[in-house]
Amino acid sequence: MAKKNIWKLEYSITLFVLLGLLMLFVPVKIENYYQASLISKWNDVYNKVSYMFTVINAQTNDEILKSFALAKTPEQREKLLLQLVKPYLRIRYTDKFPRRYKPKYMNGERVRKGDYFYFNDLYFADKQIVGIKDIVKHRDNDPWFIMMFDINGLIPPNRWGEDIFGIYIFDEGKLQPFGYNKTEEQLLEDCSQNGKGVGCSYYYRIGGKFDD
């Protein structure tokens, strides 16, 4: 009986150890799978948006270009771009997003008002959150607008480089993901727990792996 009890005790200890190891590693695997699915979804979103602007550019006429040229404020230009993209992204003006949405950078810092990547107006768009922002052009080859996409909407983590990504919009509707102009070393630093995660938008497009 004593040997049988000892065997049961050893079996129980082994089982607890295995369960403990399982609890340590399974959440990591789940998290990795979840992040990989977000990266895949971001690539799908980027491809769709790229196609969208190809169509918009083909349909752009002199009247639309004149409207942009005559717009005097960033807000007016943002509304004009919103008017062009809303049918494709399924945005309605009534879908304007409430202020309770508080995005963060990958390192955990809040995206604060006045930051380059802060968006005044956000919209619901087919289960996503989309932002449009007119930016100041200093040179002819500078982007005209930037857009952000929280690809799973209100669902956390609401962080750049995890479920929030962005694009630059250039003349004639040409696109580039945030981070396209960074070196590989800069991308590795930015797309890590110590960085903002903004450059992940490009880093994941070129096959980069998330920092786990």
Look at residue 173 and give its three-state secondary structure: helix
Amino acid occupying residue 156:
P
List, in sequence order, the alpha helices (H) in the chain. 2-59, 62-70, 74-89, 184-190, 200-203
Predicted structure pTM score: 0.81
Residue-level length of the chain: 212
Domain definitions of the chain by residue range = 31-203
Report how far apart the first and last C-alpha atoms of the chain are (Å, whole number).
48
Q: Rg of the chain's alpha carbons, rounded to an integer?
A: 23
Buried b (16+ CB within 10 A) or exposed e, 190-199: bbbeebbbbb
- The model's pLDDT over 105-155, given as tens digits with 9 standing for 90+, comes to 999 999 999 999 999 889 988 889 999 999 988 787 899 999 999 999 989
State the CB neighbour count (10 A cutoff) for residue 132.
Answer: 24
Residue 94: both structure tokens together: 């009534």
Given a contact cutoff of 8 angstroms between Cβ atoms, the answer to whether 89 and 83 are in contact is no
In tens digits, the chain (212 residues) has pLDDT values of 555 555 555 555 565 555 554 444 444 455 566 778 889 999 999 999 999 999 998 888 888 888 988 999 999 999 999 999 999 998 865 556 656 789 999 999 999 999 999 998 899 888 899 999 999 887 878 999 999 999 999 899 999 999 999 999 998 889 999 999 999 999 999 999 999 999 999 999 998 875 54
Closest residue by Cα to residue 96 from 49, 135, 129? 129
Q: Alpha-carbon distance 122 to 54, whole Å?
A: 23
Supply the DSSP symbol for 93.
G
